[in-house]
A and B are shown apart, each in its own frame.
Chain A
Amino acid sequence: EAQVTQNPRYLITVTGKKLTVTCSQNMNHEYMSWYRQDPGLGLRQIYYSMNVEVTDKGDVPEGYKVSRKEKRNFPLILESPSPNQTSLYFCASSLEQGASNEQFFGPGTRLTVL
């Protein structure tokens, strides 16, 4: 089954404790992206990757890191989480050259930073 998976689905942590949210897709997509969703703000892009070893900042990259060592994986790293990073996070992937530009979203990770 074609899908995007994220882990963990729920996480409660404390300020400053490094964490990684994993994202994996099995559709051989070139483009992958991380978004955060907050009430009244919609989805905001954090980072995106056009292919292996190619990443770039989205609209809200501060406090986050990403890596793309393999095509299928795109982990999101919070080196020192803060309460303002409490949010719902979505990973997504798409075919870079696809005519529809359809993004496939993972199920989401709800993060709470205390």
Chain B
Amino acid sequence: GQSLEQPSEVTAVEGAIVQINCTYQTSGFYGLSWYQQHDGGAPTFLSYNALDGLEETGRFSSFLSRSDSYGYLLLQELQMKDSASYFCAVKSYQKVTFGIGTKLQVIP
């Protein structure tokens, strides 16, 4: 089966940079995705890494190391609206497994 580990909570200051790590164990790995979910809302897609390296999309970047079974989401220039839960997810063959989520609190 698949399993993912990510921190349950992170607190960071507005304007700062925060990194949310994700380690995974899976077979038939296709790629690592990141989703954002605000309280009461649906998850929304942020990024996907199928190959090693860094993918940048505006203030958000995502990194993958397949050999280490590890990835991270980097959020720069944090804003109050970034307070949300962040989930990593792996697709293994056709099945998708999510981590338990990291609750990010941005403080002034």
The size bracket of the interface on A is 20 to 34
Which residues in window 27-53 of A have CB below 8 A to B? 31, 33, 35, 40-45, 48, 50
Instruction: Please measure, in the bound complex, the distance between the C-alpha atom of A43 and the C-alpha atom of B95, giving whole angstroms.
Output: 13
Using known A-B contacts A42-B100, A103-B96, determine if residue A90 contacts B48 with beta carbons closer than 8 Å: no
A-B contact count (CB 8 A): 58
Q: Chain B's nearest CB lies how many Å from the CB of A60? A: 11
- Interface flags, B40-66, vs A, CB<8A=1, else 0: 001111001010000000000000000
Q: Chain A's nearest CB lies how many Å from the CB of B53? A: 15
In the bound complex, do residue A59 and residue B95 qualify as a contact, i.e. CB atoms below 8 Å apart? yes
In the bound complex, do residue A105 and residue B43 qualify as a contact, i.e. CB atoms below 8 Å apart? yes
- Interface flags, B95-108, vs A, CB<8A=1, else 0: 11111110000000
Which chain A residues have a beta carbon within 8 Å of chain B's beta carbons? 31, 33, 35, 40-45, 48, 50, 56, 58-59, 90, 92, 99-108
